[in-house]
Copies of this chain bind each other. A is one copy, B any other.
Amino acid sequence: MIRELIEKNRTYRRFYQDVEVSRETLRGLIDLARLSSTGGNLQSLKYVLSQTLETNNKIFKTLKWAGYLKDWDGPEEGEKPSAYVVVLHDNLISKGFFWDHGIAVQSILLGATEKGLGGCQFNSIDRVALAQELNLPDHFDIVTVIALGKPKEVVVLEELGDSGDIKYWRDEQGIHHVPKRALDDLIYNL
């Protein structure tokens, strides 16, 4: 069951933009992050929820999409995410946040997957611009951004080829392919 959900939870970059994600849905997803483990139980991550066109647009323009798809700048109008979660670190609470961002994002995206939604996590963010756009106080650092919506693309896992190239690609039909290492290549035998 959890395996099915994890398999279904792929990175999606094109969405049915007209399918809204309610604030209540977003709050429910953040509650999954809240109930998840955090290093030293510090709970230093905070979340900005966005599902209005105005804040969605502010966030969208600070993101860089799909580093390996050189001829694609991101989703066009009509296929953009309908919601975002901006993950912040509250540096009044702690200096660092261990692995909390990964745990929180995985909980949020598994919850989204269960609801028929999907998303994409960003590290390529113009953080200075986004902090200004959202008028964030100084004690918040932008950790990551999660785009959310109803996925409008097919993502398929592939075996990693002999070249060892891990770059994902999109085929002529627009299907997105993601090469994954084999299980035995991830296990180090003592």
A residues sitting closer than 8 Å to B (CB atoms) are: 1-3, 5-7, 9-11, 27, 30-37, 39-43, 45-50, 55, 67-68, 88, 98-107, 109-111, 114, 121, 123, 134-136, 140, 144, 157, 166-168, 178-181, 183, 186-188, 190
Q: Which of B1, B46, B102 contacts A104 (CB 8 A)?
A: B102
Q: Which of A55, A103, A105, A135 has the most CB of B within 10 A?
A: A103
Q: What residues of B have a CB within 8 angstroms of the CB of A49 in the complex?
A: 187
Least distance between A147 CB and chain B CB atoms (Å): 13
Q: Determine the chain B residues whose CB is within 8 A of the CB of A46 once the complex forms.
A: 186-188
The answer to whether B36 touches A106 (Cβ under 8 A) is yes
User: A46-B188, A140-B188, A179-B41 are known contacts. Are A157 and B55 too (CB-CB below 8 A)?
Assistant: no
Identify A123's interface contact among B39, B48, B88, B134, CB under 8 A: B39
A121–B98 Cα distance when bound, in Å, is 11
Give the contacting residue for A180; candidates B1, B34, B98, B101; CB below 8 A.
B34
Contacts of A109 in B (CB 8 A): 37
Of residues A32, A49, A190, which shows the largest number of chain B Cβ atoms within 10 Å of its Cβ? A190
Residues of chain B lying within 8 A (CB to CB) of residue A135: 190
Selected from B2, B48, B101, B123, the residue in CB contact (under 8 A) with A114 is B2
B2 A43 Cβ-Cβ under 8 A: no
A52 vs chain B, min Cβ distance (A): 10
CB-CB nearest in chain B for A67: B40
B190 touches A134 (CB 8 A): yes
Flag if B2 contacts A32 (CB, 8 Å): yes
> A6 near B107 (CB under 8 angstroms)?
yes
Judge whether A2 and B5 touch: CB under 8 Å: yes
